[in-house]
Amino acid sequence: MAIKFNHLYANGILPSSRPKQVSRGKYDFAVAYPDPKSFPTDEIISSLKDAIKANPDYLAIYPPQQGNALLRDYISHKIDRDRSIKVNSDQIILGNGSGQSIDMICSVLLNAGDAVITDQYVYGGTLNTLRRHSAKIIGVKSDEYGMDPENLSHTISKLSQQGTPPKFLYLIPTFQNPQGWTLPLDRRQEILKVCNEFGVPILEDDCYFDNRYEGEPVTSIYDLDQENSVIYVGSFSKTIAPGMSVGYMTGPNEFLDRAMFVKSGRVSEFAAMAVYQYSVNYLDQHISEINEIQKNKRDAMLSALGENFGNKAKWSHPEGGLYIWVEFDDQVDITELHQNSVNDIDVGFHPGTNYSPDGIDGKHFIRLCYGFNQPDEIKEGISKLGDYLAKKGVI
Ligand SMILES: Cc1ncc(COP(=O)(O)O)c(C=O)c1O
Protein backbone atom coordinates (compact mmCIF):
# COMPACT_ATOMS: atom_id res chain seq x y z
CA MET A 1 0.00 0.00 0.00
CA ALA A 2 1.35 3.42 -0.93
CA ILE A 3 2.46 5.47 2.09
CA LYS A 4 0.69 8.80 2.57
CA PHE A 5 3.18 11.54 3.38
CA ASN A 6 0.69 14.26 4.33
CA HIS A 7 0.99 13.85 8.10
CA LEU A 8 4.78 13.32 7.96
CA TYR A 9 6.01 16.60 6.55
CA ALA A 10 7.98 18.89 8.88
CA ASN A 11 6.44 22.20 9.91
CA GLY A 12 6.68 24.94 7.34
CA ILE A 13 7.40 22.64 4.36
CA LEU A 14 5.27 23.96 1.50
CA PRO A 15 4.76 22.38 -1.91
CA SER A 16 6.78 24.26 -4.46
CA SER A 17 6.35 24.03 -8.20
CA ARG A 18 9.45 22.33 -9.51
CA PRO A 19 11.21 24.49 -12.06
CA LYS A 20 9.75 23.91 -15.51
CA GLN A 21 11.79 24.18 -18.65
CA VAL A 22 11.35 27.94 -19.06
CA SER A 23 11.31 29.33 -22.55
CA ARG A 24 14.01 31.94 -22.47
CA GLY A 25 13.61 34.06 -25.56
CA LYS A 26 16.28 35.06 -28.04
CA TYR A 27 16.74 38.33 -26.17
CA ASP A 28 17.25 37.01 -22.67
CA PHE A 29 17.42 39.90 -20.23
CA ALA A 30 16.08 37.69 -17.45
CA VAL A 31 19.11 35.48 -16.82
CA ALA A 32 21.61 36.45 -14.12
CA TYR A 33 25.00 35.29 -15.24
CA PRO A 34 27.97 36.78 -17.04
CA ASP A 35 28.70 36.36 -20.75
CA PRO A 36 28.57 32.57 -21.37
CA LYS A 37 30.81 32.93 -24.46
CA SER A 38 33.64 34.14 -22.20
CA PHE A 39 33.73 30.93 -20.18
CA PRO A 40 37.44 29.98 -20.26
CA THR A 41 37.01 26.33 -21.28
CA ASP A 42 40.60 25.49 -22.17
CA GLU A 43 42.09 27.23 -19.15
CA ILE A 44 39.66 25.54 -16.76
CA ILE A 45 40.48 22.12 -18.22
CA SER A 46 44.24 22.67 -18.09
CA SER A 47 44.00 24.11 -14.56
CA LEU A 48 42.03 21.13 -13.34
CA LYS A 49 44.56 18.77 -14.89
CA ASP A 50 47.47 20.64 -13.27
CA ALA A 51 45.70 20.73 -9.90
CA ILE A 52 44.95 17.00 -9.91
CA LYS A 53 48.49 16.12 -10.99
CA ALA A 54 49.92 18.27 -8.19
CA ASN A 55 47.70 16.68 -5.53
CA PRO A 56 46.14 13.45 -6.84
CA ASP A 57 45.29 12.21 -3.35
CA TYR A 58 42.94 15.18 -2.75
CA LEU A 59 40.30 13.44 -4.84
CA ALA A 60 40.92 10.04 -3.30
CA ILE A 61 39.80 11.09 0.17
CA TYR A 62 36.93 13.14 1.60
CA PRO A 63 37.71 16.87 1.39
CA PRO A 64 37.81 18.90 4.61
CA GLN A 65 34.35 20.01 5.74
CA GLN A 66 35.51 23.63 5.65
CA GLY A 67 36.62 23.21 2.02
CA ASN A 68 39.86 22.92 0.06
CA ALA A 69 42.71 24.53 2.03
CA LEU A 70 44.58 25.86 -1.00
CA LEU A 71 41.49 27.68 -2.28
CA ARG A 72 40.73 29.09 1.18
CA ASP A 73 44.26 30.40 1.37
CA TYR A 74 43.93 31.99 -2.08
CA ILE A 75 40.63 33.64 -1.06
CA SER A 76 42.09 35.03 2.16
CA HIS A 77 44.87 36.73 0.15
CA LYS A 78 42.50 37.97 -2.52
CA ILE A 79 40.01 39.58 -0.15
CA ASP A 80 42.89 41.14 1.79
CA ARG A 81 44.35 42.61 -1.41
CA ASP A 82 41.00 43.74 -2.89
CA ARG A 83 38.78 44.45 0.14
CA SER A 84 41.29 44.90 3.00
CA ILE A 85 39.68 41.98 4.80
CA LYS A 86 42.32 40.48 7.04
CA VAL A 87 41.48 36.89 7.81
CA ASN A 88 43.46 33.68 7.52
CA SER A 89 42.41 30.58 5.62
CA ASP A 90 40.95 29.02 8.80
CA GLN A 91 38.49 31.86 8.90
CA ILE A 92 37.10 31.08 5.45
CA ILE A 93 34.37 28.50 4.89
CA LEU A 94 33.67 27.38 1.34
CA GLY A 95 30.11 26.83 0.18
CA ASN A 96 28.29 25.58 -2.90
CA GLY A 97 28.07 29.14 -4.18
CA SER A 98 27.48 32.03 -1.84
CA GLY A 99 23.88 30.79 -1.71
CA GLN A 100 24.92 27.97 0.63
CA SER A 101 26.76 30.45 2.86
CA ILE A 102 23.66 32.64 3.09
CA ASP A 103 21.57 29.61 3.97
CA MET A 104 24.06 28.60 6.69
CA ILE A 105 24.00 32.12 8.14
CA CYS A 106 20.21 31.96 8.29
CA SER A 107 20.41 28.55 10.01
CA VAL A 108 22.77 29.96 12.64
CA LEU A 109 20.72 33.07 13.39
CA LEU A 110 17.06 32.52 12.65
CA ASN A 111 14.16 31.01 14.50
CA ALA A 112 10.79 30.98 12.72
CA GLY A 113 9.23 34.43 12.86
CA ASP A 114 12.47 36.34 13.45
CA ALA A 115 12.75 39.67 11.65
CA VAL A 116 15.41 40.33 9.01
CA ILE A 117 15.90 43.65 7.26
CA THR A 118 16.65 43.84 3.54
CA ASP A 119 16.34 46.47 0.83
CA GLN A 120 12.83 47.14 -0.41
CA TYR A 121 13.86 45.33 -3.61
CA VAL A 122 16.52 42.67 -3.26
CA TYR A 123 17.95 39.46 -4.75
CA GLY A 124 15.17 36.87 -4.98
CA GLY A 125 17.41 33.91 -4.08
CA THR A 126 18.06 35.40 -0.64
CA LEU A 127 14.37 36.26 -0.24
CA ASN A 128 13.54 32.59 -0.91
CA THR A 129 16.15 31.43 1.59
CA LEU A 130 14.72 33.79 4.21
CA ARG A 131 11.21 32.52 3.43
CA ARG A 132 12.38 28.91 3.86
CA HIS A 133 13.63 29.92 7.31
CA SER A 134 10.19 31.48 8.03
CA ALA A 135 11.73 34.91 8.58
CA LYS A 136 9.66 38.05 8.76
CA ILE A 137 11.30 40.07 5.96
CA ILE A 138 11.15 43.84 6.27
CA GLY A 139 12.21 45.92 3.24
CA VAL A 140 13.72 49.38 3.72
CA LYS A 141 13.36 51.98 0.99
CA SER A 142 16.36 53.29 -0.89
CA ASP A 143 17.07 56.18 -3.25
CA GLU A 144 19.49 56.17 -6.17
CA TYR A 145 22.42 55.87 -3.72
CA GLY A 146 21.04 52.87 -1.89
CA MET A 147 19.45 52.16 1.48
CA ASP A 148 18.46 55.26 3.43
CA PRO A 149 20.08 55.13 6.91
CA GLU A 150 17.26 57.18 8.46
CA ASN A 151 14.62 54.75 7.20
CA LEU A 152 16.80 51.95 8.50
CA SER A 153 17.08 53.48 11.94
CA HIS A 154 13.33 54.10 12.05
CA THR A 155 12.60 50.50 10.99
CA ILE A 156 14.94 48.96 13.56
CA SER A 157 13.52 51.04 16.41
CA LYS A 158 9.95 50.21 15.39
CA LEU A 159 10.74 46.49 15.27
CA SER A 160 12.52 46.72 18.62
CA GLN A 161 9.52 48.48 20.18
CA GLN A 162 7.30 45.68 18.88
CA GLY A 163 9.54 43.17 20.67
CA THR A 164 10.99 41.71 17.44
CA PRO A 165 14.37 43.40 16.95
CA PRO A 166 15.90 42.29 13.65
CA LYS A 167 18.38 39.43 13.76
CA PHE A 168 20.45 40.95 10.95
CA LEU A 169 20.53 43.34 8.02
CA TYR A 170 21.14 41.77 4.60
CA LEU A 171 22.92 44.14 2.22
CA ILE A 172 24.40 43.92 -1.28
CA PRO A 173 26.36 47.19 -1.05
CA THR A 174 28.13 46.91 -4.42
CA PHE A 175 26.12 46.75 -7.68
CA GLN A 176 22.99 45.80 -5.84
CA ASN A 177 20.82 43.12 -7.42
CA PRO A 178 18.36 44.23 -8.84
CA GLN A 179 18.66 48.00 -8.37
CA GLY A 180 22.20 48.44 -9.70
CA TRP A 181 23.37 51.14 -7.26
CA THR A 182 26.55 51.00 -5.16
CA LEU A 183 26.34 52.41 -1.64
CA PRO A 184 28.78 55.34 -1.35
CA LEU A 185 31.26 55.34 1.52
CA ASP A 186 29.31 57.79 3.70
CA ARG A 187 26.14 55.67 3.40
CA ARG A 188 28.10 52.57 4.37
CA GLN A 189 29.46 54.39 7.42
CA GLU A 190 26.03 55.67 8.42
CA ILE A 191 24.35 52.28 7.97
CA LEU A 192 27.09 50.61 10.01
CA LYS A 193 26.72 53.25 12.72
CA VAL A 194 22.96 52.68 12.94
CA CYS A 195 23.43 48.90 13.08
CA ASN A 196 26.17 49.14 15.70
CA GLU A 197 24.01 51.43 17.85
CA PHE A 198 21.20 48.90 17.83
CA GLY A 199 23.50 45.85 18.01
CA VAL A 200 22.31 44.49 14.66
CA PRO A 201 24.84 42.43 12.64
CA ILE A 202 25.21 42.96 8.89
CA LEU A 203 25.40 40.22 6.29
CA GLU A 204 27.45 41.84 3.52
CA ASP A 205 26.90 40.05 0.20
CA ASP A 206 29.79 41.23 -1.95
CA CYS A 207 29.43 38.81 -4.84
CA TYR A 208 29.77 41.53 -7.52
CA PHE A 209 32.80 43.44 -6.22
CA ASP A 210 35.05 42.10 -9.00
CA ASN A 211 32.58 43.14 -11.69
CA ARG A 212 33.48 46.84 -11.70
CA TYR A 213 34.20 48.49 -15.05
CA GLU A 214 33.91 52.12 -14.07
CA GLY A 215 34.61 54.31 -11.05
CA GLU A 216 36.58 53.52 -7.91
CA PRO A 217 35.98 50.60 -5.55
CA VAL A 218 34.23 51.52 -2.30
CA THR A 219 35.57 50.17 0.99
CA SER A 220 33.78 47.04 2.17
CA ILE A 221 31.54 47.32 5.22
CA TYR A 222 33.56 44.49 6.75
CA ASP A 223 36.65 46.70 6.57
CA LEU A 224 34.83 49.70 8.09
CA ASP A 225 33.49 47.68 10.99
CA GLN A 226 35.23 47.93 14.37
CA GLU A 227 32.68 45.88 16.31
CA ASN A 228 33.15 42.41 14.84
CA SER A 229 29.61 42.67 13.56
CA VAL A 230 29.87 41.86 9.86
CA ILE A 231 29.54 38.49 8.17
CA TYR A 232 30.88 38.57 4.64
CA VAL A 233 30.06 36.36 1.63
CA GLY A 234 31.56 36.18 -1.86
CA SER A 235 31.38 33.96 -4.92
CA PHE A 236 33.12 32.83 -8.10
CA SER A 237 29.78 32.61 -9.94
CA LYS A 238 29.99 36.06 -11.51
CA THR A 239 33.69 35.94 -12.37
CA ILE A 240 34.31 32.36 -13.53
CA ALA A 241 30.84 30.84 -13.93
CA PRO A 242 27.75 29.91 -11.88
CA GLY A 243 28.22 26.26 -12.90
CA MET A 244 31.41 26.05 -10.80
CA SER A 245 29.18 26.50 -7.71
CA VAL A 246 31.91 27.79 -5.41
CA GLY A 247 31.41 30.60 -2.91
CA TYR A 248 32.69 31.47 0.55
CA MET A 249 32.03 33.25 3.81
CA THR A 250 33.98 34.77 6.67
CA GLY A 251 33.01 36.53 9.87
CA PRO A 252 33.63 36.58 13.62
CA ASN A 253 35.31 33.36 14.82
CA GLU A 254 32.55 32.39 17.25
CA PHE A 255 30.05 32.80 14.40
CA LEU A 256 32.14 30.65 12.05
CA ASP A 257 32.25 27.85 14.65
CA ARG A 258 28.47 27.78 14.63
CA ALA A 259 28.36 27.98 10.84
CA MET A 260 30.49 24.82 10.77
CA PHE A 261 27.97 23.19 13.10
CA VAL A 262 25.12 23.77 10.63
CA LYS A 263 27.13 23.11 7.47
CA SER A 264 25.89 20.08 5.65
CA GLY A 265 27.54 18.68 2.55
CA ARG A 266 30.92 19.55 1.09
CA VAL A 267 31.98 21.67 -1.83
CA SER A 268 33.10 19.35 -4.61
CA GLU A 269 36.87 19.00 -4.40
CA PHE A 270 36.86 18.70 -8.19
CA ALA A 271 35.34 22.19 -8.54
CA ALA A 272 37.46 23.68 -5.74
CA MET A 273 40.71 22.43 -7.29
CA ALA A 274 39.78 23.79 -10.71
CA VAL A 275 38.77 27.17 -9.25
CA TYR A 276 41.95 27.35 -7.19
CA GLN A 277 44.40 26.56 -9.98
CA TYR A 278 42.50 28.66 -12.53
CA SER A 279 42.38 31.62 -10.15
CA VAL A 280 46.10 31.51 -9.40
CA ASN A 281 46.99 31.38 -13.09
CA TYR A 282 44.31 33.43 -14.83
CA LEU A 283 41.60 35.06 -12.72
CA ASP A 284 42.88 38.65 -12.57
CA GLN A 285 43.40 38.78 -16.32
CA HIS A 286 40.03 37.11 -16.94
CA ILE A 287 38.25 39.64 -14.74
CA SER A 288 39.65 42.58 -16.71
CA GLU A 289 38.62 40.92 -19.97
CA ILE A 290 35.06 40.15 -18.89
CA ASN A 291 34.65 43.61 -17.41
CA GLU A 292 35.51 45.14 -20.77
CA ILE A 293 32.89 42.91 -22.40
CA GLN A 294 30.29 43.73 -19.77
CA LYS A 295 30.96 47.45 -20.07
CA ASN A 296 30.19 47.32 -23.80
CA LYS A 297 27.02 45.41 -23.10
CA ARG A 298 25.93 47.87 -20.43
CA ASP A 299 26.62 50.79 -22.76
CA ALA A 300 24.60 49.10 -25.50
CA MET A 301 21.66 48.64 -23.16
CA LEU A 302 21.82 52.16 -21.73
CA SER A 303 21.90 53.76 -25.15
CA ALA A 304 19.10 51.50 -26.42
CA LEU A 305 16.98 52.44 -23.40
CA GLY A 306 17.59 56.11 -24.14
CA GLU A 307 16.54 55.65 -27.76
CA ASN A 308 13.48 53.50 -27.12
CA PHE A 309 12.12 54.37 -23.68
CA GLY A 310 12.80 58.12 -23.85
CA ASN A 311 11.44 59.99 -20.85
CA LYS A 312 8.65 57.47 -20.21
CA ALA A 313 10.71 55.52 -17.72
CA LYS A 314 13.68 55.96 -15.37
CA TRP A 315 16.57 53.54 -15.07
CA SER A 316 19.76 52.99 -13.11
CA HIS A 317 23.29 53.58 -14.49
CA PRO A 318 25.38 50.87 -12.82
CA GLU A 319 29.17 51.14 -12.74
CA GLY A 320 29.43 47.37 -12.71
CA GLY A 321 27.50 44.19 -12.08
CA LEU A 322 24.91 42.86 -14.49
CA TYR A 323 21.62 44.67 -14.01
CA ILE A 324 19.62 47.75 -14.94
CA TRP A 325 16.53 48.50 -12.87
CA VAL A 326 13.76 50.26 -14.79
CA GLU A 327 10.91 52.17 -13.20
CA PHE A 328 7.67 52.97 -15.06
CA ASP A 329 4.81 55.18 -14.01
CA ASP A 330 3.49 53.87 -10.70
CA GLN A 331 0.08 53.06 -12.26
CA VAL A 332 1.72 50.45 -14.49
CA ASP A 333 1.35 46.73 -13.71
CA ILE A 334 3.98 44.82 -15.66
CA THR A 335 3.26 41.32 -14.37
CA GLU A 336 0.98 40.15 -17.19
CA LEU A 337 3.16 41.63 -19.93
CA HIS A 338 6.10 39.86 -18.40
CA GLN A 339 4.36 36.51 -18.75
CA ASN A 340 3.64 37.08 -22.44
CA SER A 341 6.68 38.90 -23.73
CA VAL A 342 8.81 35.81 -24.47
CA ASN A 343 6.03 34.33 -26.63
CA ASP A 344 5.02 37.63 -28.17
CA ILE A 345 8.39 39.22 -28.94
CA ASP A 346 11.11 36.75 -27.87
CA VAL A 347 12.24 39.08 -25.06
CA GLY A 348 12.64 37.89 -21.47
CA PHE A 349 12.98 40.06 -18.36
CA HIS A 350 12.05 39.88 -14.69
CA PRO A 351 9.21 41.83 -13.08
CA GLY A 352 9.99 43.90 -9.98
CA THR A 353 7.68 41.69 -7.91
CA ASN A 354 10.38 38.96 -7.99
CA TYR A 355 12.45 41.20 -5.73
CA SER A 356 10.03 42.44 -3.09
CA PRO A 357 9.69 40.71 0.29
CA ASP A 358 5.92 40.30 -0.17
CA GLY A 359 6.13 39.35 -3.88
CA ILE A 360 3.39 41.93 -4.63
CA ASP A 361 5.13 45.28 -4.41
CA GLY A 362 7.23 46.27 -7.44
CA LYS A 363 4.68 45.89 -10.27
CA HIS A 364 5.93 48.99 -12.05
CA PHE A 365 9.59 47.93 -12.13
CA ILE A 366 11.53 45.51 -14.29
CA ARG A 367 15.07 44.14 -14.02
CA LEU A 368 17.09 43.85 -17.21
CA CYS A 369 20.26 41.74 -17.17
CA TYR A 370 22.79 42.47 -19.91
CA GLY A 371 25.07 39.47 -19.29
CA PHE A 372 23.80 37.04 -21.92
CA ASN A 373 23.25 38.73 -25.30
CA GLN A 374 25.82 40.46 -27.48
CA PRO A 375 25.64 44.29 -27.82
CA ASP A 376 23.85 44.20 -31.22
CA GLU A 377 21.27 41.76 -29.88
CA ILE A 378 20.82 43.92 -26.79
CA LYS A 379 19.99 46.90 -29.03
CA GLU A 380 17.53 44.84 -31.11
CA GLY A 381 15.90 43.34 -28.03
CA ILE A 382 15.44 46.66 -26.24
CA SER A 383 13.99 48.17 -29.40
CA LYS A 384 11.47 45.31 -29.63
CA LEU A 385 10.65 45.68 -25.94
CA GLY A 386 10.20 49.44 -26.37
CA ASP A 387 7.76 48.95 -29.28
CA TYR A 388 5.88 46.29 -27.32
CA LEU A 389 5.56 48.40 -24.19
CA ALA A 390 4.46 51.39 -26.29
CA LYS A 391 1.79 49.27 -28.00
CA LYS A 392 0.53 48.13 -24.61
CA GLY A 393 0.41 51.69 -23.32
CA VAL A 394 3.17 51.27 -20.72
CA ILE A 395 5.50 53.89 -22.20
C1 LIG B 1 23.32 39.24 -4.74
C2 LIG B 1 23.55 37.79 -4.98
N3 LIG B 1 23.99 37.02 -3.99
C4 LIG B 1 24.21 35.72 -4.17
C5 LIG B 1 23.96 35.11 -5.37
C6 LIG B 1 24.16 33.62 -5.48
O7 LIG B 1 25.35 33.34 -6.05
P8 LIG B 1 25.99 31.88 -6.00
O9 LIG B 1 25.93 31.38 -7.40
O10 LIG B 1 27.38 32.13 -5.55
O11 LIG B 1 25.22 31.04 -5.05
C12 LIG B 1 23.48 35.87 -6.45
C13 LIG B 1 23.20 35.25 -7.74
O14 LIG B 1 22.65 35.82 -8.65
C15 LIG B 1 23.27 37.25 -6.25
O16 LIG B 1 22.83 38.05 -7.21
Closest residue (by CA) to atom 8 of ligand 1? 97
Quick one: pLDDT at residue 144? 85
Residues of the domain holding 347: 27-41+285-391
Helix axes 69-83, 269-278, angle to 10 degrees: 40
Give, for ligand 1, the residue of 123, 127, 170 to mutate: max count of ligand atoms closer than 8 Å to Cβ.
123
Domain count, the chain: 2
Tell me: do 144 and 226 sit in the same domain: yes
17 has a pLDDT exceeding 80: no
Domain annotation covers residue 173: yes
Confidence of residue 21 (pLDDT cuts 50, 70, 90): low
Could you tell me if residue 158 is left (phi over 0), alpha (psi between -120 and 50 degrees) or otherwise beta? alpha
Q: Identify the residue with better confidence: 313 or 22.
A: 313
Answer yes or no: do 277 and 154 share one domain: yes
> Are 95 and 221 in a shared domain?
yes
> Same structural domain for residues 236 and 124?
yes
Query: Do 388 and 380 touch, CB atoms closer than 8 A?
Result: no
Mark whether 127 and 216 lie in a shared domain.
yes
Cα 112 from Cα 98, distance rounded (Å): 22
Question: Which H or E run includes 365?
Answer: strand 365-369
* pLDDT for res 35: 87
Same domain, 213 and 66: yes
**Is there a single domain that holds both residue 235 and residue 357?**
no
Burial class of 42 by CB neighbour count within 10 A (0 to 12, 13 to 18, 19+): exposed
- 65 within some domain: yes
Q: Which of 98, 119, 231 to mutate to test the pocket of ligand 1 (most atoms within 8 A of CB)?
A: 98
Stretch 183-196: mean pLDDT, rounded? Answer: 98
- Mean pLDDT calculated for residue range 141-152: 94
| Ligand 1 atom closest to residue 100's alpha carbon, by position in its atom list | 11
Domain end among 255, 281, 307: 281
User: Per-residue pLDDT averaged across 27-39, rounded?
Assistant: 90
Confidence of residue 191 (pLDDT cuts 50, 70, 90): very high
Q: Ligand 1: distance of its center to the CA of 129 in Å?
A: 12
pLDDT exceeds 90 at position 274: yes
pLDDT score of 14: 80
d(CA 96, CA 272): 10
- Asked whether residue 276 carries a pLDDT value surpassing 70, the answer given is yes
* Cα 164 from Cα 142, distance rounded (Å): 22
Give ligand 1 pocket residues (Cβ under 6 A): 32, 97-99, 123, 125, 172, 177, 205, 207, 235, 237, 242, 247
Helix 375-391 with 335-345: angle, nearest 10 deg? 120
Q: Is residue 180 helix, strand or coil? A: coil
Cα–ligand 1 centroid distance for 207 (angstroms): 6
Identify the pLDDT of residue 188. Answer: 98
- CATH code, domain carrying 97: 3.40.640.10
pLDDT score for 245: 96
166 occurs within a structural domain: yes
Whether residues 300 and 326 share a domain: the answer is yes
Residue 87 has pLDDT above 80, yes or no: yes
How close is the Cα of 101 to the center of ligand 1, in Å?
A: 10
Q: What is the pTM of this model?
A: 0.96
pLDDT tens for 167-188 read 999 999 999 999 999 999 999 9
Residue where a domain stops, chosen among 224, 256, 281? 281
Select from 131, 171, 180, 133 the least CA-distant residue to 152: 171
| Nearest atom, ligand 1, residue 247 CA | 10
List, for residues 330-365, the tens digit of each pLDDT value: 999 999 898 899 999 999 999 999 999 999 999 999
User: How far is ligand 1, taken at its centre, from the CA of residue 289, in Å?
Assistant: 21
22 assigned to some structural domain: no
- Would you state the pLDDT for residue 258? 97
Give yes or no: residues 34 and 142 share one domain. Answer: no
What letter represents residue 129's amino acid? T
The per-residue DSSP string of 228-269 comes to S-EEEEEESTTTT-GGG--EEEE--HHHHHHHHHH--S---H
DSSP one-letter string for 33-87: S--GGG--HHHHHHHHHHHHHH-THHHHSPPPTT--HHHHHHHHHHHHHHH----
More confident residue, 338 or 1: 338
Q: Are residues 150 and 31 in the same domain?
A: no
